[in-house]
């Protein structure tokens, strides 16, 4: 990791446990409102809509649209598909903001706090800045900067995201490490000249996860989690 000055972190799945957080939030909402539904299935379908919805922006079928608005549109469609009736626009807004209240993995805050002492740390996420700022505030993520996709009007893995984030930090791509629990994100970052760090989140997608359970290339660093990454990066 010679010459690395900043570490960019993928966020959903890498830093925060979106699935368990959203299942709790939606199940709690359903219980409070007396609405029985397959809330777990809805969360998985919601996440399933994530990449296709960004791809519509990437292909130009939609104008630039922030993730909050993609999430909101996907949710509106999915509640109908799941046969959930009686939700108001305000309810859908509230549930969409569940993405602003995701819980960090146990190692995230202590690991990031150690890394912050030695490196510039920032999320590089497909979330929009407002989502990421609110998430950091409630989860105490100690970022130095917040790189949301709306800064670039591009979604990962478009190269503009990695390259513009490095440029904003005043750094060459090789002075920046992209850290993620997703091999595809790291492949795209490496193609742009960034260094890359992997650690698995084997339950991100639930108990039967088949993807990204291990590093699938010779990434610059492979760690167990963010605390271990801090140790391996001398922080």
Please report, as ranges, the residues that interact with a second copy according to CB under 8 A.
68, 120, 128-131, 133-134, 136-137, 144-146, 148, 150-151, 168-171
Contact 135, 109 (CB under 8 A): no
Distance, CA of 173 to CA of 187 (rounded, Å): 14
Nearest to 186 by CA among 219, 226, 228: 219
- Bond into 114 cis (ω within 30): no
What radius of gyration, in Å, describes the C-alpha atoms of the chain?
Answer: 18
Task: State the Cα–Cα distance between residues 176 and 165, nearest whole angstrom.
Answer: 9
Minimum distance of a second copy from residue 74's CB (angstroms): 18
Write down the least CB distance from residue 122 to a second copy, Å: 8
> In the complex with a second copy, which residue's Cβ is closer, 12 or 39?
12
User: Judged by CB, which is closer to a second copy: 69, or 225?
Assistant: 69
Token duo for residue 2: 């010679």
- 99 vs 198, beta carbon nearer a second copy: 99
Based on CB atoms, which residue is closest to a second copy, 13 or 148? 148
At closest approach, how far in Å is the CB of 26 from a second copy? 21
Compare residues 123 and 200 and give the one whose CB is closer to a second copy.
Answer: 123
Shortest distance (Å) from residue 146 CB to a second copy: 5
Tell me the closest approach of the beta carbon of residue 39 to a second copy, in angstroms. Answer: 25
Cβ atoms of residues 178 and 162 within 8 Å: yes
| Inter-residue contact 143 to 29 (CB < 8 Å) | no
CA distances from 166 to 66, 87, 91, 107, 177 (A): 21, 42, 38, 25, 10
Residue 49 vs 133, nearer CB to a second copy: 133
To a second copy, the closest distance from the beta carbon of 127 in angstroms equals: 11
């Amino acid at each position: 990791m010679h010459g690395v000055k900043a570490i960019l972190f993928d966020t959903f799945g890498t830093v925060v446990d979106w699935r368990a957080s959203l299942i709790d939030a939606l199940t709690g909402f359903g219980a409070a409102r007396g609405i029985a539904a397959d809330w777990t299935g809805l969360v998985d379908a919601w996440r399933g809509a994530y990449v296709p919805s960004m791809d519509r922006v990437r292909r130009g079928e939609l104008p630039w649209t922030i993730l909050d608005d993609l999430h909101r549109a996907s949710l509106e469609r999915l509640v109908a598909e799941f046969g959930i009736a009686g939700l108001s626009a305000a309810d859908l807004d509230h549930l969409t903001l569940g993405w602003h209240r995701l819980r960090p993995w146990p190692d995230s805050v202590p690991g990031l706090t150690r890394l912050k002492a030695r490196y510039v740390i920032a999320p590089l996420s497909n979330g929009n800045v407002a989502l990421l700022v609110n998430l950091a505030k409630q989860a105490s993520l100690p970022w130095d900067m917040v790189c949301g996709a709306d800064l670039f009007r591009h979604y990962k893995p478009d190269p503009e995201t990695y390259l513009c984030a490095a440029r904003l930090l005043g750094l060459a791509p090789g002075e920046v490490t992209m850290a993620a629990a997703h091999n595809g994100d790291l492949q795209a970052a490496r193609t742009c000249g960034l260094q890359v760090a992997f650690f698995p989140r084997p339950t991100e997608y639930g108990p039967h996860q088949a993807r990204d359970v291990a590093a699938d290339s010779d990434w610059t660093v492979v760690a167990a989690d963010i605390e271990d990454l801090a140790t391996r990066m001398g922080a």
